[in-house]
């Protein structure tokens, strides 16, 4: 199996056509076709559905594509490593959860820029499951994700637990109850939460269902700080990791409601591909910086 054949296959899928791939690699279209055929012959499978435009991979071809991208990244890392003991450079692709984006990005990215001025940082936000999938497909170099402490990650992904965070139910300070409550006692107030897909919301919904209650949503919106502002204005209850509440500009107008039957906790994880080359130290440093920022709040 030749690296040139792998490179051609990846270029075709990235661009969606043989002509565009040929222009990218400085080759002719027949040369690209020969390389694709060579790779398919070596693997003994069809990688492309040639009846579609733009070209699309077969089911197995999509899986092979992810492996090929990882191979090319490792080849680039190897070339960079043997070229000399130089600081990491190029593109660094990171992911952070929707919930933590506002709190972490500014300081963590600033730290990377200070330590590694030759790196360009690209940041994506999303739910944890989406970010893990993007790691699997070679689309991210590292990500912070929020999952339970017993989370099992896919093969090929390294996961490091950075610390547990309790989730707190909050309300406007003027609406704070005088004594601890049960979750069902709060149902009339409704909730200000992330849209469906959020693990916090799912945990709350499961607990309510076990108690024979339905989740009542007043407002759903992205952004922890926006949610806390709405809660502080009396629009409903919020559910937030304790460190983010401590960092919020609205914290003086909010109160934590102590609950007898709902004490959830979430784990912050750093995830990345098993082999990262020179970017390993950068991604691990990003995880440490994020953990320290949250611990200091």
Same domain, 140 and 217: no
Q: Residues near 89 by Cβ (< 8 Å), separated by ≥ 6?
A: 80, 116, 118, 119
The domain containing residue 290 runs over which residues? 90-164+266-295
Looking at the fold, whether 63 and 191 belong to one and the same domain comes out as: no
| 29, 170: one domain | no
Q: Is the domain of 274 the same as that of 129?
A: yes
DSSP 178: S
- The candidate with the shortest Cα–Cα distance to 168, out of 180, 150, 152, is 180
Q: How many domains does the chain have?
A: 3
Any idea what the CATH number is for the domain that residue 231 is in?
3.40.190.290
Q: Output the six-digit token pair for 143.
A: 């990500």
Is 185 found in the same domain as 235?
Answer: yes
Per-residue pLDDT of the chain in tens (297 residues, 90 and over written 9) = 888 999 999 888 888 888 888 887 888 999 999 999 999 999 999 998 888 777 788 989 888 988 888 888 778 767 666 655 667 778 899 998 877 766 666 777 788 888 888 888 888 888 888 999 889 888 899 999 988 888 888 877 889 998 888 899 999 999 988 887 888 888 889 999 988 878 888 888 888 999 898 999 999 998 888 999 999 999 999 999 888 898 889 999 999 999 988 888 888 899 998 777 778 888 998 888 888 877 765
Q: What is the DSSP letter of 179?
A: S
C-beta of residue 211 within 8 angstroms of C-beta of residue 184: yes
pLDDT for the residue numbered 103: 62
Which residues, 6+ apart, have CB-to-CB distance to 59 below 8 Å? none
CATH number, domain containing residue 68: 1.10.10.10
* Sequence-separated (6 or more) residues with CB below 8 Å from residue 206: none
CATH number, domain of 147, equals: 3.40.190.10
Same domain, 270 and 158: yes
Q: Select from 27, 62, 82 the last residue of a domain.
A: 82
Residue 65: both structure tokens together: 């594509």
Full DSSP string of 181-228: B-GGGGGGG-EEEPPTT-HHHHHHHHHHHHTT----EEEE-S-HHHHH
Cα dihedral 86, 95, 200, 156, rounded to 10, equals -70
Same domain, 238 and 279: no
- Report which of 88, 106, 92, 91 is spatially closest to residue 289, judged by C-alpha positions: 106
Q: Are residues 132 and 275 both part of a single domain?
A: yes
Closest listed residue to residue 278, CA positions, set 144, 65, 153, 118: 118
Same structural domain, 25 and 158? no
What torsion do the CA atoms of 272, 273, 278, 284 make, to the nearest 10 degrees? 20
* Among 174, 123, 134, residue whose Cα is nearest residue 157: 134
Q: Which of 44, 59, 54 is nearest to 11 (CA)?
A: 54
């Amino acid at each position: 199996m030749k690296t040139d054949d792998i490179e051609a296959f990846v270029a075709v899928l990235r661009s969606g056509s043989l002509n565009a791939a040929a222009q990218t690699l400085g080759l002719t279209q027949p040369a690209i076709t020969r390389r694709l055929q060579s790779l398919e012959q070596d693997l003994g499978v069809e990688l492309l559905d040639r009846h579609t435009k733009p070209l699309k991979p077969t089911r197995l071809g999509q899986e092979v594509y992810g492996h090929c991208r990882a191979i090319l990244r490792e080849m680039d890392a190897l070339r960079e490593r043997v070229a000399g003991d130089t600081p990491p450079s190029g593109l660094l692709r990171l992911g952070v959860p929707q919930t933590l984006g506002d709190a972490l990005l500014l300081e963590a990215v600033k730290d990377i820029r200070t330590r590694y001025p030759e790196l360009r940082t690209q940041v994506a936000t999303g739910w944890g499951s989406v970010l893990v999938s993007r790691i699997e497909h070679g689309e991210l170099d590292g990500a912070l994700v929020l999952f339970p402490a017993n989370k099992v990650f896919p093969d090929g992904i390294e996961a490091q637990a950075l610390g547990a965070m309790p989730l707190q139910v909050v309300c406007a300070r003027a609406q704070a109850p005088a004594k601890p409550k049960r979750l069902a006692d709060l149902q009339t107030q409704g909730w200000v939460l992330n849209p469906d897909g959020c693990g916090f919301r799912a945990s709350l919904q499961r607990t309510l269902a076990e108690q024979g209650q339905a989740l009542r949503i007043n407002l759903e919106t992205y952004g922890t700080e926006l949610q806390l502002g709405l809660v502080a204005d009396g629009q409903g209850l919020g559910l937030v990791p304790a460190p983010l509440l401590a960092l919020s500009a609205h914290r003086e107008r909010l109160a934590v409601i102590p609950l007898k039957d709902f004490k959830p906790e979430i784990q912050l994880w750093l995830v990345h591909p098993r082999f990262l080359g020179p970017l390993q130290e950068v991604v691990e440093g990003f995880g440490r910086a994020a953990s320290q920022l949250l611990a200091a709040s």
